[in-house]
């Protein structure tokens, strides 16, 4: 398999296949006489692993650790689980941040007329004199 085929087989762009090799995430592909990269079934499997880990939001450095564990028959599943749960906590943190942004914005947008008049609670909140933007917590009850 040459790189374009590997790209289709793995869902990783040609650019990224070369990049993952360059940064040492995966071993350099074999080369044909022409210089073309040649991918074995095994390397395709590894790359698929990488893509799935990316799909789960792992960063490249974490994927390197996961690959090590995957390829190390004497691993402890505790190590994998630890890596995964740490990652889940990071994702959850990001979700909390998103939630707060969304709640605030929805609250503000809800109270914006959205017509030709200029007054708008969104801008008012962003431009308020006191230090923090209005949060969409409770509506002052």
**Residue ranges that bind a copy of itself, judged by CB under 8 A:** 11, 45, 48-49, 52-53, 55-57, 66, 69-70, 73-78, 80-82, 84-85, 87-88, 91-92, 94-95, 98-99, 101-102, 104-106, 108-109, 112-120, 122-123, 125-127, 129, 131-133
Residue 8 binds which one of a copy of itself, DNA, none, with CB within 5 to 8 A depending on kind? none
Give least dist CB 54 to DNA, A.
5
Give least dist CB 140 to DNA, A.
29
**Which H, E and C letters describe the chain, residue by residue?**
CCHHHHHHHHCCCHHHHHHHHHCCCCCCCEECCCCCEECCHHHHHHHHHHHHHHHCCCCHHHHHHHHHHHHCCCCCHHHHHHHHHHHHHHHHHHHHHHHHHHHHHHHHHHCCCCCCCCCCHHHHHHCCCCCCCCCCCCCCC
Give least dist CB 33 to a copy of itself, A.
31
Residue 19 binds which one of a copy of itself, DNA, none, with CB within 5 to 8 A depending on kind? DNA
What Å distances lie between residue 10 and 4, 17, 102, CA to CA? 10, 10, 34
Give least dist CB 116 to DNA, A.
29
Distance of CA 73 to the CA centre of its chain: 27
Q: Does 47 bind DNA (CB under 7 A)?
A: no
Q: Does 37 bind DNA (CB under 7 A)?
A: yes
Q: Does 2 bind DNA (CB under 7 A)?
A: yes
């Amino acid at each position: 398999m040459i790189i374009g085929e590997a790209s289709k087989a793995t869902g990783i762009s040609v650019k990224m296949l070369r990049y993952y090799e360059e940064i040492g995430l995966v071993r350099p592909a074999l080369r044909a006489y022409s210089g073309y990269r040649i991918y074995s079934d095994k390397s395709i499997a590894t790359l698929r692993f990488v893509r799935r880990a990316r799909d789960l939001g792992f960063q490249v450095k974490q994927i390197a650790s996961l690959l090590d564990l995957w390829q190390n028959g004497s691993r402890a599943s505790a190590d994998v689980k630890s890596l995964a749960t740490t990652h889940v906590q990071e994702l959850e943190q990001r979700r909390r941040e998103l939630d707060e942004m969304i709640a605030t914005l929805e609250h503000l947008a809800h109270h914006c007329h959205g017509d030709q008049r200029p007054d708008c609670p969104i801008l008012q909140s962003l431009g308020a004199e006191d230090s923090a933007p209005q949060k969409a917590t409770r509506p002052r009850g």
